[in-house]
Structure 1
């Protein structure tokens, strides 16, 4: 079922429930009022008859009966019975219809004890009251049918039912109309969304004039399109760059093999070719590992497992591993601040990703330094843990700092230096994942300092 019909249905059900409750209340209180009013009329008529009978000496029961028969406001099938309380002898009675005997339904002793009585039996409203006078106290029983009142109630019931049904029909029509009108902006939004495809990610939803929930939805959808377009563009560039980076070593390997196979060569030449191919394969492995690390650090929808990590211990572990490499450089580690408190050197993070970040920073410093030396400074201050990697080498231009942290982007100082422009991009992704900051600066003397800053207040 469409939303507009569901809204109209719910609106109709709520309105119908309220109308039904209101109609029932009208009918209930009208019936209650009719019964009370009619009982009062019966009671007043019965008391009036008793007063005339007992206070006017010239009037006896036969005269009173003639008066009752000739009265204009005689009630339908009205019956009046007057009893002596002490003997329960019938003193006076007035009745037209003698086919129904009410005494089988009443207990006169209980009525006398309660002093009053009112009940509906077989469509008759029956009233019983005791009436004290100078003469012996009497019990008056009066009953009648309120045919006019009942007909009015039936008419009221008919009007309420017809009014209820008409109101429900009108409510359905009005509900569908207003629901359709209210959902019209969503229909327009759907039409615009249908016009957006993978080839048209540059299209955007028009901002509605009214600043309501639809406008918020349109804005959120446009922001999502911005992210999608950016992701698609990054993916496109990534595939293009990966293809380009992989083509170079593969072409080199293929060329060397083809040249070697042109003619038979001696063992030394074959060994030289294999060494060259091995170097190219190592380059491919390094490049593939870089791609995997960059992809892992870029997964926004996957949250890595964070635990408490001692960064000083992790740095020493990385130092030992990297200095076992054949072409390793020199690593010097110094501490600034309170290093006796372990908590000052501990952060909440993913040890594998932080280790990858440190390896890339050290490897990057070795590549660009003149003496293959990197100084690592660990600075702990309150809730900030700052680790700086500095080297003396080629200068990084200020305008290139934002560029070199993007995948496959390299600065002018990278000319003649092996690499693929992935290392700092991986570092930037990992430190962002840990809610930290990356700071790069390079002075005119060739001192380059790259700092990763962890905020210990943010897990």
Structure 2
């Protein structure tokens, strides 16, 4: 019983310590199945143990009672035929059957004088063995009671004893006898039974765990497929549907709900794509037409100075509106998943040539800021050249916006293997060569509190000490779009900034190693 209690306590502590930790559904189901089965086995085992203990002790008590009846019968017959009440009777009563191949446990007998309580005879098999006896039991026997009690002998072995009175033909108590047997075999059976139950519980737990693992793995497979499908879901995979044949009712209902959700999402994304395409066409066409008309007006040499300046101001605002529309459309395209496919499926882009073109273009955006092209290595990447141009133009425009008159913006391109840890961590596969484009400015810098948020949509820095009128008119979309384009090409953007000294934007893109090697060799 003590072992069973300790085992139950250990299982209780282990179970609730596990349940307090986050676990998968499969682990919880397996754990509950194992615990319920083991608890049922323990309840059955404890019941069997108690019943077996009760049966063995009851059987032993019955044997002692039979032996006591034999002593009473022998005493009655001896005295009934007129034999004297002497030592011959005592010797006859103390003579016991030492057992055979079926009854190996000997019976111990002791006879006590009813007057003095001293021991009159002991069975030969007792030898020098001493069995405890008390005056209370002798007094109870003299009153005609039969007392069962368990003692521990001098060797530490438990003995079951029955104390009974022996009477003559007239019903008078003439002797008090103690009949006993060792509980050694009973203890052995109980020990073996407890060991069997404990080992059986452990084996049952292992078998239950194995079976539960196999069954729950098979039954939860549709849920794993559903979870994997949802984890890998993208705007290009909205046509995915799951089969519901051969599944349980609950999983079938869940699969049906998932398929219906995918149908609604696919229809919604289709409407958004069509809307973005229509808006893109409808907005760009009039803007292009207006810009063409303005360029035609500017060709007229008869325009007055004031009118020409007004038209140039209108063209400047029109260019800003065009950039705003382009950014809004690009953001909408990213949200509905119509950005280009991974870089491996598109053309090669030569970043050095692209940056040279952007440098010439940027010098016309704000002539009050110097745009310088510094170190320029030959680097190629896989990607969409137009989107990459948009990426660098957004960062360049942001740098020129926040740089004061007379300041400078510098561009640098190099190929390297030493990308920062946060850049390499974002790539699932190994990239050995990186193209690093650095755009530096001499602006006011970015406050540390604003730095983690600069790539959020519509974020405007509130801690920057210097802003211009042009920055106040910005949309707050340029950097978020730049990061979207960089990530769609397998890269990312990192920023270093210090207040009062300026900022450095580092664009990291996986380099096309084969094309780079060919160009260098040429």
Q: Normalising by structure 2, what TM-score?
A: 0.45
Q: Normalising by structure 1, what TM-score?
A: 0.50
